[in-house]
């Protein structure tokens, strides 16, 4: 019988609890399912997983929820074979912003002392630690949608994609916010032991083995607070209240008494979006709320959100969210 697949999860004070326990539970359930398969089929040789939690000094850490995690070993005790090395994440709210926590001890260890791992990954804002250690340079990566722009700005050598639930770039994996660590862990189980074990694990945990769409389904791309007295921000507020009106660039420019060219340039400078893309996001956000909270049919949702037709509603959902309006309603209502 081969040795179990060794997973080391690195945690530090303030870590999101589910960043650690979510993947750990997936690997644990997969191990139990594999053991059950062995008892039923004598030719099965899947040994499952050994999960260990490592902290700076080997002592307990208090997570963001206040729950304390007990460590199995200190970082300088992580020796020998490591098949999968995972780094949890943490965020702090600073005013209206959410800032990723960059634990210096963990970052230094990743850069200078971490043993080679067959596979390295991060959960949620843990991607910021991998990036700070230089492990994401030249790779594609993702992280929680709230901090993806910060990751891209701080680390231009990283190709940040804010939408996927998880990304694999060679031997390095990154995933989106918090619960996406379960999705990534399931994909790792599939890679290690095949799709059948991943499917059985997902069924046991009452999970989708692969959820549809990306984390943009959960983000709010229009969430930046408006500044009173700013013409563009005042226009943003007006757009949200008049989604069924003519919101073309020409109409919006005329409202501000600007040329279309000057308005489009100013709008992009202030919002990092074209007027057309912003309007589509605003209408899509309204459609999402209607699907989540109301009972109206798709024609009513399309009309009330300003998207106009069911065809346009479908096209916008598929392009922006990777799913259909009906599927979105089933999953998120």
List the one residue out of 173, 169, 176, 194 whose CA is nearest residue 124: 176
- Residue range 44-66: mean pLDDT, rounded: 91
Q: What is the pLDDT of residue 224?
A: 55
d(CA 223, CA 278): 12
- Residue range 176-186: mean pLDDT, rounded: 94
List the one residue out of 210, 162, 203, 215 whose CA is nearest residue 183: 210
Mean predicted lDDT score pLDDT of the chain: 90
Q: What is the pLDDT of residue 36?
A: 83
- Residue range 312-326: mean pLDDT, rounded: 90
Sign of CA dihedral 160, 162, 167, 172: positive
pLDDT digits (tens, 9 = 90+) for 198-210: 989 999 998 877 7
Q: What is the pLDDT of residue 227?
A: 58
Q: What is the pLDDT of residue 42?
A: 44
Do residues 7 and 84 lie in contact, with contact meaning Cβ atoms separated by under 8 Å?
Answer: yes
Supply angle C-alpha 138, 140, 145, rounded to 5: 130
Whether residue 41 is predicted with pLDDT greater than 60 in this model: the reply is no
24-33, 116-125, 190-199: lowest mean pLDDT where? 190-199
Query: What is the total residue count of the chain?
Result: 333
Whether residue 191 is predicted with pLDDT greater than 80 in this model: the reply is yes
Q: What is the pLDDT of residue 263?
A: 95
Which residue would you say has higher pLDDT here, 331 or 75? 75
Q: What is the pLDDT of residue 220?
A: 60
Domains and CATH numbers, the chain: 5-216 (3.40.50.880), 231-332 (1.10.10.60)
Q: What is the pLDDT of residue 39?
A: 62
Using pLDDT thresholds of 50, 70 and 90, give the confidence band for residue 43.
very low
Q: What is the pLDDT of residue 197?
A: 93
Whether residue 124 is predicted with pLDDT greater than 90 in this model: the reply is yes
Q: Per-residue b/e over 261-280, b at no fewer than 16 CB within 10 Å? A: eebbebbeebbeeebeebbb
- Residue range 181-193: mean pLDDT, rounded: 95
Which residue would you say has higher pLDDT here, 145 or 88? 88
- Residue range 278-283: mean pLDDT, rounded: 92
- Residue range 313-333: mean pLDDT, rounded: 86
């Amino acid at each position: 019988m081969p040795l179990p697949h060794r997973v080391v999860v690195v945690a530090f004070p303030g870590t999101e609890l589910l960043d650690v326990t979510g993947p750990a539970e997936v690997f644990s359930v997969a191990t139990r399912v594999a053991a059950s398969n062995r008892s039923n089929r004598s030719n099965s040789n899947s040994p499952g997983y050994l999960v260990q939690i490592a902290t700076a000094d080997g002592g307990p850490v208090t997570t963001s929820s206040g729950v304390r995690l007990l460590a199995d070993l200190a970082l300088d005790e992580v020796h020998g074979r490591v098949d999968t090395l995972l780094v949890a994440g943490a965020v702090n709210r600073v005013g209206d912003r959410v800032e990723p926590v960059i634990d210096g001890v963990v970052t230094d260890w990743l850069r200078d002392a971490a043993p080679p791992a067959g596979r390295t990954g991060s959960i949620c804002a843990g991607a910021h630690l991998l990036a700070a250690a230089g492990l994401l340079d030249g790779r594609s990566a993702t992280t929680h949608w709230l901090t993806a722009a910060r990751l891209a700005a701080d680390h231009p050598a990283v190709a940040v994609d804010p939408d996927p639930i998880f990304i694999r770039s060679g031997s390095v994996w990154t995933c989106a916010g918090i619960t996406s660590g379960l999705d990534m862990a399931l994909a790792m189980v599939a890679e290690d032991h095949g799709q059948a074990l991943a499917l059985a694990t997902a069924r046991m945990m009452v999970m989708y083995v692969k959820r549809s769409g990306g984390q943009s389904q959960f983000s709010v791309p229009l969430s930046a607070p408006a500044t009173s007295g700013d013409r563009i921000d005042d226009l943003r507020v007006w757009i949200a209240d008049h989604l069924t009106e003519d919101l073309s660039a020409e109409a919006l420019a005329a409202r501000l008494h600007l040329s279309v060219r000057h308005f489009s340039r100013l709008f992009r400078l202030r919002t990092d979006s074209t007027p057309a893309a912003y309007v589509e996001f605003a209408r899509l956000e309204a459609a999402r709320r209607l699907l989540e909270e109301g009972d109206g049919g798709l024609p009513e949702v399309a009309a009330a959100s300003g998207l106009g037709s069911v065809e346009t509603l479908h096209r916008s959902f598929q392009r922006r969210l990777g799913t259909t309006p009906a599927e979105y309603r089933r999953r998120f209502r």
